[in-house]
Copies of this chain bind each other. A is one copy, B any other.
Amino acid sequence: MISKVKFFLTLFIALSTSIALRAQQNISIASPNQAINLEVLNTEQGILSYSITYKSRKIIEASTLGFSFSKPALQLTNFTINAFDTTLHDDTWKPVWGEVSHIRNYYKQLNVRLEDKTGSGILLNVVFRIFNDGVGFRYEFPQQASLRHFIVSEEHTQFRLAGDHKTFWIPGDYETNEYGYHTTKLSEVDALAAAQKEKDIALTAPIGANAVQTPLMMKTAEGLYINLHEAALRNYPVMNLMLDKKALTLTTHLVPDAVGNKAYLQTPAQTPWRTVIVSDKAAGILASKMILNLNEPSLIGDAEWVKPQKYVGMWWEMHVGKANWPLADGKHGANTRNVKSYIDFAAKYGFKGVLVEGWNTGWEDWFGNWKEEVFDFVTPYPDYDIKELSAYAKAKGVRIIMHHETSGAVTNYERRMDTAYRFMQDHGMNMVKTGYVGRIIPRGEHHDGQWMVNHYERVAQKTAQYKIMLVAHESVRPTGLHRTYPNWLANEAARGSEFHNAPTLGMSPEHTTILPFTRGIGGPMDFTPGFFHFQLNQFDSTRTQKIRSTLAKQLALYVTMYSPVQMAADLPENYNKHLDAFQFIVDVPVDWADTQILEAEPGDYLTIARKEKIRDADKGKEAWFVGAITDENPRTASIALTFLKKGKKYEATLYRDANHASWEKAPEAYTIEKRTVTNKTRLNILLASGGGCAISLIEK
């Protein structure tokens, strides 16, 4: 329901004069709950800026807006405000899947109608949406005689910060988002030095010393939490942010295409939403649904076939050297016998999917050569009997998850997508994991440029046409598009579990306490948790890497790292040694009716409780699952179970670190306890260094 009622009462309008067009213009508008105030200022010279106040504290100082175009060649940085209007929006919608069953979309909108002051006649709007938890704004270029096709050479959107905030950042980069996070003051960002330390990312293209990526998480000295990102990234390149350390100002830097342009647009056109989420509690950032709300409703029609699920698969054994992707070296993992054993394991424990990597020809020569014709996506290796396996999986009630590694040769993939998806249908598969490891073809394009952003969306569209669910790796980081394409379940698009195996920097114990505040703000991550074996020399005695986590923390990640697809990433043989702990992975759902962020501090700790969407529906009973994690510091999670129904008893199963556990010395030391609890219970649970705790709470 959209209300077009104008907010004359809540809107403070200060047009210095309506006649003297040269005078300064101010527009001010508050969020529905008045906590956030947005001001738009246009100077005599036509310099347009906005600022944001949260509970009377300035969050974003006056920050200017504008563009450079290369066609028509002009600077769009001086504006006349022709008009503006405001609306209130308040409705509630139901996601196909998610962290909560209902989402309220409640904001005031300010639409500022602008004209280029330099005389081109170009019209544009800046549309602001002021939510109770932040502000989103975008540029809109209406259909008009003065502007039809145009090429953006840069967007000049500023975020001028009010202080030298503590910032959780990764280097700005055209190709990758798989960096480890750094925590420094804004003024201490050195993205190039950070990028140069990274040795384990397949392909990097860092932008410069002062470039950082979004979602960018910050904390002010006063304890406010600010998150900058974008929503609904479609037909536009990714926004990186360039830092001016003196001015504490971040400015958009879009990812270029092969010839240095940024975006090719045609009116009517619009940019993605630029988002500022703000809260005085870290939990408020995680609870925000603003990014989702700024995305369009589903475009895929009936989504009854989209099924959140857990899966196992042929993947980690390649990473630890037990097997390999290519057939040629004699350790081919994806052979019929081996995959059958995964299907057996999946069926035994109720996993719906079995991922199989290395099933198709091409792996002998796939990486690092900018080669266009690597995979055809339909030719199995001779030792992989796809017909037999399809039948076997079907008989066991399991589906094989397709793996389409493109090696970055996207033109090749696009030519073959239809055929590949038909091949999946023919073999009973309904989920694909895509991969983009390597330099992009079309050569000169980048993973995060407009052309690739459009590609990822094309894949989401086309898989939807074939009723296929999608999980993309090495892709663009999400911006809430899973609302629009609910078959696009998750992306990797950050440092995930494969980096446990990275020889150089790997994954720090604090990484998973930062991810939900950064990468997770845009959408679900296929993080692939669940490791039960921590020293990675199981099959290769020369390896010294170890997973910097306890076993109990691995369980907790199924709750703290939200995703509608969750892998049990370790080897079945490792799970078989700890079947009591594995029970939590078997039990934990992937779709939720409610979520409560109980404790949160980025870089330190996180405790989240989630209510299962479907459990004993006929009996009206409910189940909650809690994950608590910490960084390298032990801590006591203090969990008040006030979210449980009053007067009901629940069986709590606690999977916690043993008292002597630590990621470094005793990662596999865990304790399982069962207790009866109520909504008055408070659990105080010791989390080890690099540790965590997982709890299931089943109504009796």
Question: Within A400-421, which residues are at the interface with B (CB < 8 Å)?
Answer: 411, 414-415, 417-419
Contact present for B149 and A369 (CB under 8 Å)? yes
Which residues from chain B contact A443 at a C-beta distance below 8 Å? 257-259, 261, 442, 444, 451
Counting every copy of the chain, the complex holds 2
Bound Cα distance from A372 to B371, whole angstroms = 23
Bound Cα distance from A411 to B417, whole angstroms = 13
Bound Cα distance from A417 to B261, whole angstroms = 28
Q: Nearest Cβ in chain B — how far from A406, in angstroms?
A: 14
A370 CB-CB contact with B under 8 Å:
yes
Pick the residue among B148, B266, B371, B454 that contacts A266 (CB under 8 A): B371
Pick the residue among B148, B264, B414, B444 that contacts A258 (CB under 8 A): B444
Contact present for B369 and A266 (CB under 8 Å)? yes
A414-B411, A415-B414, A415-B415 given; A442·B371 CB < 8 A: no
Contact present for A264 and B371 (CB under 8 Å)? yes
Contact present for A370 and B444 (CB under 8 Å)? no
Bound Cα distance from A369 to B599, whole angstroms = 52
Bound Cα distance from A458 to B372, whole angstroms = 13
Most buried by B among A370, A443, A445: A443
Which residues from chain B contact A418 at a C-beta distance below 8 Å? 418-419
Most buried by B among A370, A454, A458: A370
A371-B149, A414-B414, A419-B418 given; A444·B259 CB < 8 A: yes
Question: Within A451-481, which residues are at the interface with B (CB < 8 Å)?
Answer: 451, 454, 458
Over the window 226-266 of chain A, the binary record of Cβ atoms lying under 8 Å from chain B Cβ atoms (1 yes, 0 no) is 00000000000000000000000000000001110100101
Which residues from chain B contact A414 at a C-beta distance below 8 Å? 411, 414-415
Over the window 427-453 of chain A, the binary record of Cβ atoms lying under 8 Å from chain B Cβ atoms (1 yes, 0 no) is 000000000000000111100000100
Question: Within A360-382, which residues are at the interface with B (CB < 8 Å)?
Answer: 365, 369-372
* Apart from the given pairs A264-B372, A415-B417, A418-B419, 20 other A-B contacts in the complex at a CB distance below 8 Å: A149-B370, A151-B370, A257-B443, A258-B258, A258-B259, A258-B442, A258-B445, A261-B443, A264-B369, A264-B371, A266-B365, A266-B371, A372-B451, A372-B454, A411-B451, A414-B414, A414-B415, A415-B458, A442-B442, A443-B444
Residue ranges of A at the interface with B (Cβ–Cβ < 8 Å): 148-149, 151, 257-259, 261, 264, 266, 365, 369-372, 411, 414-415, 417-419, 442-445, 451, 454, 458
A-B contact pairs, 16 of them (CB 8 A): A149-B369, A149-B370, A151-B370, A258-B258, A258-B259, A258-B443, A261-B443, A264-B369, A372-B454, A411-B411, A411-B442, A414-B414, A415-B417, A442-B442, A442-B445, A442-B451
7 cross-chain pairs, A with B, having the tightest CB-CB distances, nearest first: A442-B442, A258-B444, A149-B369, A258-B258, A259-B444, A444-B444, A414-B415
